């Protein structure tokens, strides 16, 4: 199994040797390798069993490093970088040839982010290359928000997990790009659309694609537990599955269903707080995936604030 620790120098040495390290970010834990080394990047795809047509996000230490890997930085996207970096925002920018095509799945844009987690910020300062780092989980499964989640899923495949505690956001970054003068949200995430629109005005939200995505995290079926997820009105769903005689667990936003045992339910936020719900989403899904039931029944949140991004993850978890 992987060693879990807080030794940035050890993590740096492993990365410099062309191997992989799991790293903490404010969004989720990432599986990191040298983004400029095609061999290391290949290890990321192999370790995650991730299809090579799904591009990766490149993590850099600061906005001043972006020019090393991109050909231009449009003013509209630069405004977002100034407002929200370091943070849960990824920008799609025209790439330089120094970035391997494997990282971008052959696209001429590269997804770039400056994470805000202090441990990974220090790690990025300690190495002289950017880090390609998709979520540190088998492809398509629930993203990890604690070091132990990485250990459970990939511990036999990597040597070291850099422990940074629980992820403070708990949802992947929001991905934004620019096409023909139009700002586009390619993936909803830990930065709300309303916050983005306060800086740059209205944006277009792109529906996810089922193949050949234009940015990371756009596949229709993704972020899913092994147990099937069904979305809808919880009261009606519970009645239906009781009539079928099927064992189920429930994932609710704020309502606690007293008749359901605590081992078969997760309330994302008893106070109805969207940030708390986002932080608890993936760990809650992971908990219910071990409940020994045939189905997880879940409800969508109000379509505002981070509710949009949470609903996006729930719909993808339910997509089969």
Q: What number is the average pLDDT over the span 30-46?
A: 97
pLDDT at 44 over 90: yes
Contact 227, 296 (CB under 8 A): yes
Please tell me the predicted confidence (pLDDT) of residue 195. Answer: 97
Q: Most distant CA pair in the chain: distance in Å?
A: 60
Which pLDDT value is given to residue 233? Answer: 97
Give 192 or 53, the one with higher predicted confidence.
Answer: 192
User: Which pair of tokens denotes residue 249?
Assistant: 């667990």
pLDDT at position 54, please? 84
The pLDDT of residue 139 is 87
- Unique residue bearing structure tokens 């780092």: 133
Instruction: Decide: helix, strand or coil at residue 197.
Output: helix
Q: Is the pLDDT of residue 278 over 80?
A: yes
Residue 26 confidence (pLDDT) above 80: yes
Q: Give Cα 58 distance to the centre of its chain.
A: 13
Q: What is the mean pLDDT of residues 103-119?
A: 96
For the segment 217-257, what is each residue's pLDDT rounded down to a tens digit? 666 667 789 999 999 999 999 999 999 999 999 999 999 99
CATH architecture of the domain formed by 229-318: 3-Layer(aba) Sandwich (3.40)
Burial 207-246 (b: 16+ CB within 10 A, else e): ebeeeebbbbbbbeebbbbebebebeebeebbeebeeeee
Amino acid 211: pLDDT: 46
Q: For the chain, give every domain's residue range.
A: 3-205, 229-318
Report the top-level CATH class of 3-205.
Answer: alpha beta
pLDDT tens-digit map of 122-155: 999 999 999 999 999 998 899 999 999 999 999 9
SS3 241: helix
Residue 214 has pLDDT above 90, yes or no: no
pTM equals 0.91
How far is 25 from 120, CA to CA, in rounded Å?
7
d(CA 51, CA 105): 9
What is the pLDDT of the chain when averaged over all its residues?
94
Residue 40: pLDDT above 80? yes
pLDDT for residue 37: 97
Find the mean pLDDT for residues 203-216.
71
What are the residue ranges of helices labelled H in the chain?
8-16, 38-48, 75-84, 101-104, 118-126, 147-154, 193-200, 234-244, 274-289, 307-318
- C-alpha 207 chain-centroid distance: 17
Q: Hey, what are 179's tokens?
A: 């096409």
Q: What is the mean pLDDT of residues 86-108?
A: 96
Give mean pLDDT, residues 272-300: 96
- Across the range 314-319, mean pLDDT stands at 91
pLDDT for res 212: 52
In this predicted structure, what is the pLDDT of residue 220?
64
**pLDDT at residue 206 in the model:** 86
* CB-count exposure of residue 170 (10 Å: 0-12, 13-18, 19+): buried
Give the mean model confidence (pLDDT) for residues 8-22. Answer: 98
């Amino acid at each position: 199994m992987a060693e879990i620790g807080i030794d940035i120098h050890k993590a740096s040495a492993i990365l410099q040797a062309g191997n992989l390290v799991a790293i903490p970010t404010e969004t989720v834990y990432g599986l990191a390798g040298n983004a400029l080394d095609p061999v290391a990047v290949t290890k990321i795809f192999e370790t995650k069993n991730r299809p090579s047509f799904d591009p990766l996000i490149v993590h850099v230490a600061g906005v001043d490093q972006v020019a090393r890997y991109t050909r231009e930085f449009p003013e509209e996207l630069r405004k977002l970088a100034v407002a929200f970096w370091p943070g849960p925002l990824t920008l799609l920018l025209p790439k330089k040839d120094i970035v391997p095509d494997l990282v971008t799945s052959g696209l001429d844009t590269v997804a770039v982010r400056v994470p805000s987690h202090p441990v990974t910020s220090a790690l990025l300062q300690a190495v002289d290359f950017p880090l390609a780092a998709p979520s540190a989980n088998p492809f398509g499964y629930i993203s990890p928000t604690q070091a132990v989640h990485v250990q459970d899923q990939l511990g036999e495949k990597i040597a070291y997990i850099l422990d940074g505690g629980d992820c403070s956001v708990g949802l992947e970054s929001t991905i934004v790009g620019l096409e023909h003068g139009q700002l586009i949200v390619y993936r909803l995430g830990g930065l709300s659309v309303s916050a983005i629109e306060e800086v740059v005005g209205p944006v277009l939200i792109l529906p996810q694609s089922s193949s050949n995505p234009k940015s990371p995290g756009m596949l229709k079926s993704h972020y899913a537990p092994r147990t099937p997820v069904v979305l809808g009105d919880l009261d009606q769903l519970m009645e239906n599955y009781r009539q079928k005689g099927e064992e189920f667990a429930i994932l609710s936003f704020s309502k606690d269903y007293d008749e359901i045992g605590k081992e078969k339910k997760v309330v994302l936020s008893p106070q109805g707080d969207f940030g708390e719900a986002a932080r608890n989403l993936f760990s809650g899904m992971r908990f219910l995936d071990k409940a020994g039931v045939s189905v997880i029944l879940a409800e969508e949140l109000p379509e505002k604030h981070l509710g949009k991004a949470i609903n996006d993850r729930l719909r993808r978890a339910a997509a089969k």
